[in-house]
Amino acid sequence: MEHVSTTERIVRGVLITLVLAFFLFPIFWILLMSFQTNETILRIPPSLFFEPTLANYTALLTGQLKTTAGNLDILFMRNLGNSVLLSTGSVLLSLLLGVPAAYAFARFRFRLGENIAFTLLSFRFAPPLLVLLPLSLYFKPLGLTNSYVGLVWVYQLICLPLILWIVRGYFEDISPDIEHAYRISGHSWRQTFTRIAIPLARPGIAAAGLLAFIFAWNNFVFALILASADKQPVTVGALAFVTASGIQYGQIAAAIVLSVTPTLLLALYAQRYLVEGLSLGAVKG
Amino acid sequence: MSSVADGMVARPVRSRIMRRARPYLLSLPALLVCIGILIPFGTAAYYSMMRFRLNLPMLKGFIWFDNYTALVGDATFWHTVSISLAYAGLTVGLELMLGLGIALLLQKPTRFHNIASILLLLPLMTAPALAALMWKLMTNPNFGILSYLVSLLGIRDFKWASDPSTALFTVVLVDIWVYTPFMMILLLAGLRSLPKQPFEAAALDGVPRSFVFFRITLPMLMPYIITATLFRLLDSIQQFDIIYSMTQGGPGDTLLVFQVRAYLEFFQYTNVGKSAAILMILWAITYFLSNIFIKQWLKLRERTRGHA
């Protein structure tokens, strides 16, 4: 291999440190803020040393927020619950709809299949409001406005293309010969699908599911338009919370920390598959 | 595929029909979702040619392309076009350069580099709407750490997102924080998948590094660069989350990009027709870009998988 001089090694080390500092500092700083009272947050100059307090978190957990206008009941925990419910529900529905379709697209070449696969892919890149605004008008007469069912249905817009294209790739990577052999030994088509194809593609299915969960969790605009306060996930809830709680910065920071922790932990857990998921199955890590 | 069926030739006709229908049955739910997307899309196209205001329902009527011609003659619409293009151009250009630089730094798969690349993914996994709130706290004029750091540099009254002259800079900065890791991780995967021989040969011949970079690395990395750039461009031209949760499109009309403007047209001014026309124009841009993107993406996918 090429010779690397000491100066180059030092320069590279410094650059990597700077990059890490820029990208990790905001997370670190908000985490620190979430353990501070407003008095220490407002100190000038800011300092890394303070007496940590859990008051912000207990206020959020109990739903009793201190604001300038007195005590206020904000059920931020409800937003967290909504996020869990919406993301989990969307991913489960997406897997149910997407895995059989992905299998069909991988194993049978048929015009309709390609059309569906590419329509879903191209709408992944269309402006979401284009679909959402007319939907918000349709949802009213259908009684789906501000309902979990309506939201989970709309979330398919992000989850389904992801699941479809990643899982399809995994099915394509499995040699059809294994399935042929199993079929010839007298098993039905359905048994082949559930006992051979699905178990072999399981890592792909799990990865796609985890990523779809992260993207569903991080979505903002769907619920902004289609949900009111009691059904909103954390992304929308946090913004409303900022407006409502005014200058209670520690509580805002704590709410942000609680909202981003689940996706960050999942991302660390699923990092092996992130490259594949982010490129919708086009690039392997 | 077809040979799967050959094993059971002696089955009755009914099962042959079933076999034919199987792929269609399996993809039926996905088809329903597709239709569920296409109906509102068609509706939007239709609304874009209507005089349709939620507050004035009696004026509702079909007016062909009047909404579009009104937009073309509207200076504020051209502001929307130029601010959206500026946002997309700045974010994607800077993210590409930074992402490529970081990917080159972390190219060698050492333990430290791998850990660093994983940690760098954290901003990308933060919801963009929440990332904007984090930066809003850090740029608060009273206690924001960044406002403080800037004041140490001698710059007084730097107002970040609340000043029209620095608002674009601030949201672009947040976008860079969130999405540079996307570029970095795709380009890193690309760099690490390149064949070793050309580089070994170049090293043996003592070819200068800049030559290796511009004549070997860059051309070979091009499919990844093009795919990642188009992918980001498609997202960035329709950015909503970061801008909306940071400034709601303000101050004034400074950051009224396509989707934020369409959103406000719909909910604040209840002008459904105009909002739909803006979104259709945005859709035409993204449709054009996504066709190029999908071609590149399929090429890359084929290359990675070796078939399909």
Kindly provide the b/e burial profile for residues B228-257, where b requires at least 16 CB atoms within 10 angstroms of the residue's own CB: bbbbbbbbbbbbbbbbbbbbebbeeebbbb
> Where are the domains positioned within chain A?
6-58, 76-278
Smallest Cα distance from A189 to chain B, Å: 9
The pair of three-digit structure tokens given for residue A256, joined into one six-digit string: 């942000």
Whether A4 has a pLDDT exceeding 80, the answer reads: no
**Segment among A113-122, B5-14, B55-64 with least mean pLDDT:** B5-14
pLDDT tier at A44 (50, 70, 90 boundaries)?
Answer: confident
- Kind and range of the H or E element at B50? strand B50-51
Smallest Cα distance from B165 to chain A, Å: 23
Q: Is A121 on the interface with B (CB under 8 A)?
A: yes
pLDDT tier at B302 (50, 70, 90 boundaries)?
Answer: confident
pLDDT tier at A23 (50, 70, 90 boundaries)?
Answer: very high
Q: Which fold has domain A76-278?
A: MetI-like fold (1.10.3720)
Whether B260 has a pLDDT exceeding 70, the answer reads: yes
Taking CA atoms, A159 is separated from A99, A128, A154, B28, B42, in Å, by 12, 13, 9, 17, 22
Q: How far apart are CA A106 and CA A257, in angstroms?
A: 40
Write the burial class of residue A243 (CB in 10 Å: 0-12 exposed, 13-18 middle, 19+ buried): exposed
Whether A1 has a pLDDT exceeding 50, the answer reads: no
Mean pLDDT, rounded, for A111-137? 88
Whether B138 has a pLDDT exceeding 80, the answer reads: yes
Contacts of A115 (CB under 8 A, 6+ apart): none
Q: Is A48 on the interface with B (CB under 8 A)?
A: no
Handedness of CA B282, B284, B287, B288 (dihedral sign): negative
Mean pLDDT, rounded, for B110-121? 93
pLDDT tier at A73 (50, 70, 90 boundaries)?
Answer: low
Smallest Cα distance from B189 to chain A, Å: 5
Whether A138 has a pLDDT exceeding 70, the answer reads: yes
Per-residue model confidence (pLDDT) at position B156: 79
Write the burial class of residue A109 (CB in 10 Å: 0-12 exposed, 13-18 middle, 19+ buried): exposed
Q: How far apart are CA A75 and CA A59, in angstroms?
A: 10
Whether B8 has a pLDDT exceeding 80, the answer reads: no
Which residues 10-29 on chain B approach chain A with CB closer than 8 angstroms? 19, 22-24, 26-27, 29
Residue type, B112: F
- Residue with more model confidence, B277 or A248: B277
pLDDT tier at A68 (50, 70, 90 boundaries)?
Answer: low
As for the ipTM of the complex, it is 0.91
Instruction: Tell me how far the alpha carbon of residue B106 is from its chain's centroid.
Output: 24
Torsion of CA A194, A195, A196, A201, to 10 degrees: 60
Q: Is B55 on the interface with A (CB under 8 A)?
A: no
The pair of three-digit structure tokens given for residue A149, joined into one six-digit string: 């069912």
Q: How far apart are CA A225 and CA B133, in angstroms?
A: 19
Which residues 123-182 on chain B approach chain A with CB closer than 8 angstroms? 123-131, 133-138, 140, 142-143, 145, 148, 177, 180-182
- Kind and range of the H or E element at B61? strand B61-62
Choose among B177, B99, B120: nearest CA to A271.
B120
Q: How far apart are CA A131 and CA B4, in angstroms?
A: 40
Q: How far apart are CA B155 and CA B34, in angstroms?
A: 53
Mean pLDDT, rounded, for B61-77? 87
Which of A41, A176, A275 lies closest to B189 in CB terms? A275
pLDDT tier at B7 (50, 70, 90 boundaries)?
Answer: very low
Whether A72 has a pLDDT exceeding 70, the answer reads: no
**Segment among A60-64, A135-139, A162-166, B215-219 with least mean pLDDT:** A60-64
The pair of three-digit structure tokens given for residue B10, joined into one six-digit string: 């002696």
**Segment among A83-87, B67-71, B221-225 with least mean pLDDT:** B67-71
Whether B244 has a pLDDT exceeding 70, the answer reads: yes
**Segment among A128-132, A198-202, B8-12, B171-175 with least mean pLDDT:** B8-12
Instruction: Count CB neighbours of A49 within 10 A.
Output: 5
The pair of three-digit structure tokens given for residue B259, joined into one six-digit string: 């989707």
Q: DSSP states of A47-99 as a string?
A: -S------HHHHHHHHTEEEETTEEEE--HHHHHHHHHHHHHHHHHHHHHHHH
Do B196 and B217 meet the contact criterion of CB atoms below 8 Å apart? Answer: no
Query: Which single residue is written with the structure tokens 């909503």?
Result: B240
CATH number assigned to the domain covering B74-305: 1.10.3720.10
Torsion of CA A22, A23, A29, A35, to 10 degrees: -160
Do A212 and A163 meet the contact criterion of CB atoms below 8 Å apart? Answer: yes
Domain(s) of CATH 1.10.3720.10: residues in chain B? 74-305
pLDDT tier at A277 (50, 70, 90 boundaries)?
Answer: confident
Taking an 8 Å cut-off on Cβ atoms, the answer to whether B4 and A42 are in contact is no
- Residue B251, classed as helix, strand or coil, is coil
Per-residue model confidence (pLDDT) at position A122: 86
Residue type, B1: M
Peptide bond preceding B251: is omega within 30 degrees of 0, i.e. cis? yes
In tens, the pLDDT along A240-253 reads 888 776 678 888 89
Mean pLDDT, rounded, for B42-70? 86
Mean pLDDT, rounded, for A66-70? 62
Taking an 8 Å cut-off on Cβ atoms, the answer to whether B282 and A239 are in contact is no
Per-residue model confidence (pLDDT) at position A271: 86
Average pLDDT over chain B reads: 88
Per-residue model confidence (pLDDT) at position B263: 94
pLDDT tier at B105 (50, 70, 90 boundaries)?
Answer: very high
Per-residue model confidence (pLDDT) at position A69: 61
Mean pLDDT, rounded, for B265-291? 92
Q: Is A160 on the interface with B (CB under 8 A)?
A: yes
Per-residue model confidence (pLDDT) at position B11: 56
Instruction: Count CB neighbours of A58 within 10 A.
Output: 11
